Structure 1
Amino acid sequence: MKLLGLDREKVRNAIEKGRVTVAVYGLGKMGLPLAAVFAEHGAKVIGVDINENVVEMINRGENHVKEEPGLDELLKKNVEEGRLSATTDGVEAARKADVMVILVPTLTDERGNLKLDPVYDVAHKISQGLEKGDVVITEATMPPGTTESIIPILEESGLKIGEFGLGHAPERTMTGTAIRDITGQYPKIVGASDERTLEALIGIYETINRKGVIPMSSIKAAEAVKVFEGIYRDVNIALANELALWCEEHGLDALEVFKAANTQPYCHLHMPGAGVGGHCIPVYPWFVINLAGRTNPRLTKTAREINDSMPHHIVELVIKGLNEAGRPVKGSNVLVLGLTFRGGVREFMKAAAKPIIQELKEWGASVYAYDPLCTPEDAERFGATWKEDFKGVDVVVITADHREFKKLDLNRMSAEMRSKVIVDGRNVLDPEEVEKLGFGYFRVGRVRNP
């Protein structure tokens, strides 16, 4: 059932009664949960992916996104009930669909330069099946202005914009909480090519999101929302890191000061740490920087510089800890705990562990690594040797806040380590508990006992 021109209530009713077919392009960590949620709310959903193994698994009711609580059950139920299927044929999916959602990966380099080939490839496929009244939505996060760049591709269908609708509804989800986030953690942001499309988008997302929808004045404004959310976090983490470094110079415990300051409602100092990783926060600032004309986003640039420098500072703390233990860096044994960029997620983009390992090796240290979500091959790719004990280790460096690291066996560490130094790059340990056992304990914003 075509939705363009219907009011939001009719759109919701059509989806809930199974009259609408939604094609979701990209069945990864964000796309598959979205497809399952649409199906759960009544839509007939066709998931599209280029990976044949992924498509076969989904059609058997098997979930390949293991980090997502509740997705196993949601996927199996909707496949068995006939509301969700998968295919590698993006053109045929477009022919059958009324709504097409593009949520393929947008690959970037470290300076946020996008490789949009996956998005354009999907747009070409959609154009071959596009019909009058269809609605095309991008959810992938992209620089403001990018969604409208696919209009000429979609118009290869012979239709003009207005005969079909185009919108942007940025995903506002995290790995591990995607279903929760899609269905009601935050309101959905939507922007559209015209008022009729906007009304359809409001109805589409009100159907699946309990928190409702925030309509924006344009597609570009909707794109900017998600980008600005990431920049806000990056800049504020940089501020926390800068103030934490100042606290180190002045013998203060940054977390003590931050906690007290944050009791004032206008203050929200973030957590300092070993660095900012992932596909989002360290990348989105470059969207703004790269698009700047006369404006010069100095604060955004400086924040990136500060956050990118934090792995180097962790190495400085390692050197300081070894010096206080009377041991040179060269020939020391350093165990890095955490190869992923954050706890509970097996993702490596801009993980702090990589530059830390590289720099320590340049200093002549022997570097080992362990991560409960990873393999010895992952450690080897980072340039470290896999190690699951603390025997002969001089320094333990924590670079990911996995829950396992919050419960380290400190007594075992004390017995097995050669030198007792801990550099806590994610603030997961209790300093008093650590120091009672005679460890030298260092973290960003605190390098000496209070």
Structure 2
Amino acid sequence: MSARKLVAGLGACAALLAATAGCGGSAPSGAAGAGAGRDSGPVKIGALHPVSGANAVDGQQMRRGAQMAVEAINAAGGIRSLGGRKVKLETGDTQGKAEVGQSEAQRLISEGAVGLVGTYQSAVSTNVSVVAERNRVPFVMDVTASDAIFSHGYKYSFRVQPGSAAIAGAAARYLKEVSEKAGKPVRKVAFLHEQTDFGTGAAEAFAKAAKKLGIQVGPNISYDAVTASDLTAQITQVKASGADVLAVAGYYRDGLLAAKAINAVKPNLNAVWGVSDGAFDQPKFVSDVGALGERYFSTNYHYDAKNPATVKLRAEYQKRYGAPMRTGAVLAYDAVQVIAQGVERAASTDPEKVRAAIAGSQVQPLTVGTGPISFAPNGDNKNALPVLMQVQNGQIKQVYPQDKAESQPNYSVTWRP
């Protein structure tokens, strides 16, 4: 089944809440207050991330970020409106599989989670959102790019990061502006993307935005991120196309493959331009590919490098775990804060009351935004802001828009064919 058909089927399933026992696997839990232990003991927040499988590094990072948020909340006195009750993180490993994420979500809700955060992968979040809707328990997505989830009228799904269309639109706009300021106006963009709903959605949204700006897009080249072991053929196709920019939307492992193939083929490009890409804005990408990734751009969500509170959190993470804190982990931290502050405002562990409090929340983020985390009626964060980053001298720098920039964009590549 295609990702789009899966989303549509699950959306129809969720719309029939009273009849969903046979839809999506798990039976509904009944009343919103159902679940063990919500009225006493620690306030449980469920965290669903892929801590095993191909995306385990990111998943582990995000689980740690969520745990650090819980520790910060408890150190500050817990949930004060509930007499200082402590918060506890209950975790589930999605294994990067939609059906596993779905069953783990049901388990965490049945065990008393007042809300869920997750999941890193759009396909997994699609299933979890159905479980959350059926059980009337809020689900705050930290990393989930797909916009399809937010087209079904769900009441219990929220998202901290900007969505695929917002990122793709910003990517096209930033590309036009940066290239023109550099005196090399973009002419034609080839788009390389992984083939699930995430990558396809990013490519389609970018092409739509680029067309409005007078930018030609093509060819559109897809690949299977799970099975791909080499992208040389795809990059050779890019070279033959005459495109002066290569846009890329994929995950981390295939991002490395793309960088290696670009180095081998050396297409005649002015820029490599990540669009929601899971590799090009990661410190590990820089260390793994070295000079091959120099000057790569990436339009994406990002931790706020200019926020002192974010700098402090990332320093603590580095000290504790011996690795740089990725943006996904900071988003998980923000998502837990959203649920905890919802509980605080609701003065209740009733998920429906918590959901109402979240819907009206104003939470200060540690990720880039134009203001506090605040949700539109469809559950999207109204103040989420995509930012343009670039690998410069072996470091990831925010370079655009100007008010978020740590340094200026360098619109050139380090190779020529």
Greater gyration radius: 1
Q: TM-score, normalised by structure 1?
A: 0.34
Structure-2-length-normalised TM-score: 0.36
